[in-house]
A = this chain, B = another copy of it.
Amino acid sequence: MNDMKRTAADDLLDVLASWGVSKVFSCPGSTEAAILDALMDRDDMELFLTTHESAAVSIADGYSRATGAPSVVYLHANGGLTNGLANLAAAQLAYSPVVVLNGLKPRSIQSRAGFTTARRMRDFVHQYVKDDWQCLSSEAIAEDVNRAFRTAMIEPTGPVWVGLSQDLLESPSSAPAPGADGFTFDSRTVPSASAIRAAADVIAQSRHPVIVAGSEVARSGAIDDVIRLSETLRVPVLHEDRRALERPGFPTDHPNFRGQYEPAHPLVQGADLLVFLGARLFNEFEPPTSPQLPAGVKIIHSHTDARQIALIHGVDVGLVGDQGLIAQELLAALSERPPQHEFVLPEREADPAPRASTTDGGALKALDVVDTITDALRGAVIVGDATTAGGVLQTRAHQHSGNDYFVSSSGSLGWGMGAALGIKMGLPQRRVAAILGDGVFQFGIPALWSAARQNIPVTYVVINNQRYAAVGAALQRYHGKAAERQVYPGTDIAGVNIAEVSSAFGVPGQRVDTLEDLRSAIDAADGVEHPVLIEVMTDTEQLRP
């Protein structure tokens, strides 16, 4: 087919290069031959091989989250796309600019519903991307892919899908290809002056305002602006609700930090104004049985993505735009129209005394395990995918910057194994550790292969309670036969030696069952130049940490 001539695949790689892409994450198949071939002589770009699409997508997502830069996944046919969807949902929720290229069979086979063809590929992916387009001609490939990057990077950023038929990709080049130049622009916006004025007025008239800093504050690099707003006004700050949080919007070690948003939080209860900055209201796990917002409280809600504002609850002022710019504009407006009552920063409760983390001979409790982990990993980037232990992890993990803690709000198991690899590549100077459930582990195993092959030095810690504790907890809440008998069907997943699985993949694994051994294992893994996995055995009976 290709006798050393330039192809549309070469054009496509030029587009990728112009956007600074250096790695193409893929588990390729025959439809990707042209791309694999075109990658061979590039010194600016390499294939990053994965052995499952769930890994490819989560690694790319992690990389984009950590860097803010676009990443590229190349998926194979229909099976490859659908295997990647669960983690693509996670990327979407985190506004991660992952460009998904999808190799498709030659066009003539598509209409014939041939091998590995689904005739409406876009239906699969439509809900999880900002745009989906299947290229119609080889001349259009570079332009279409370039536009995909542009779309992924326009605020609010997010995943985009492009379908690339094999015959088009293997066609002769039709350079010159467009590139990032001219297609990268500052797409941040600010709300109208009157909206800002309205927000400043509401703040100026309030007595007990509370800021709730969401993940978008971190993603848009606006933490310093929010600190300034909070310090100038002397207003306390909470993190957004735990189900919606993707990363910390405020330093947990800042004197104005007061914990995580919960309707029952005393500051929320006492507030007359809640200023939600870049937060989601809310990512509901179940229909709430009590109000999520105090009665009569005023609401200001800013978000880059207008679709998040007044989605469930009405607002007094909605502010669409960039979190950093909005914080700056609010501050400017408030200096002209200062608050009518001086705000008093409430006392901060003393941090709880460090808990004694020693093993008392019985089965390890998840709470103690999380304490030990967060203590040992102070200073590291934590990637959380720990299910029932996730809530405690979130409150205990040290989060000084917006990059210190990453989770997914998608609720689909397995994201963290691959994401940690992408995050480590995006933050090479930092130590990165992923904290996982044993159920989660089984969904992410193929990521181990890429960790070993690419020698990415992350520390995996698997909290092995040999259970789907979250499912047991749901049965408890259901108050049926299971709860009455305290027998929880569908939750016992014992039987896997996770450390051995890991070692068999080339990621040295170690099983520990005391807090002391856990601590030493985490310490020993520090600075080691390859990935390691620590499996910590915990109480199998406990359904909540």
Contact = CB atoms under 8 A, between A and B. Distances in A.
B36 A490 contact: yes
Interface string A92-136: 000000000000011011001111101110011011100000000
Contacts of A119: 127
B478 A170 contact: yes
Nearest to A170: B478
A524 interface: no
B52 A442 contact: yes
A253 to B, nearest CB: 29
Nearest to A441: B51
A120 B504 CA distance: 40
Contacts of A490: 26, 28, 32, 36, 47, 49
B445 A37 contact: no
How many copies are assembled? 2
Contact of A489 (B29, B36, B413, B442): B36
Nearest to A127: B118
Contact of A109 (B3, B37, B286, B484): B286
A311 interface: yes
A295 interface: no
Contact of A495 (B30, B47, B505): B505
A41 B489 CA distance: 11
Interface string A457-481: 0000000000010110111011111
A193 interface: no
Given A489-B39, A493-B49, A501-B504, A474 B30 contact: yes
B123 A126 contact: yes
Contact of A493 (B449, B475, B479, B504): B449
A82 interface: yes
A542 interface: no
A51 B493 contact: yes
A116 B412 CA distance: 7
Contacts of A312: 112
A364 interface: no
Interface stretch (A83-91, A323-331, A343-351, A398-406): A83-91
B1 A471 contact: no
Contacts of A477: 1, 30, 33
A115 B243 contact: yes
A478 B484 CA distance: 63
A4 interface: yes
A171 interface: no
Contacts of A127: 118-120, 123-124
A439 interface: yes
A304 interface: no
A410 interface: yes
Given A411-B115, A443-B52, A37 B284 contact: no
Contact of A34 (B167, B446, B480, B498): B480
Contacts of A449: 442, 493, 495-496
Nearest to A411: B116
A353 interface: no
A452 interface: yes
A264 interface: no
Contacts of A484: 4
Interface in A375-424: 409-413
A23 interface: no
A442 B2 contact: no
A456 B346 CA distance: 62
Contact of A33 (B40, B284, B478): B478
20 contacts: A1-B479, A2-B479, A3-B479, A4-B484, A32-B490, A33-B478, A37-B489, A40-B485, A51-B442, A51-B493, A85-B85, A106-B286, A106-B287, A109-B287, A112-B284, A115-B285, A442-B449, A495-B505, A496-B506, A501-B504
Given A79-B413, A124-B127, 15 more contacts: A1-B480, A30-B473, A33-B477, A37-B475, A40-B482, A82-B82, A105-B286, A106-B286, A106-B287, A115-B285, A115-B411, A170-B478, A443-B446, A496-B505, A500-B500
Interface pairs A-B: 10 shortest CB-CB: A79-B412, A30-B474, A500-B504, A37-B480, A82-B85, A114-B284, A116-B411, A33-B478, A79-B86, A497-B504
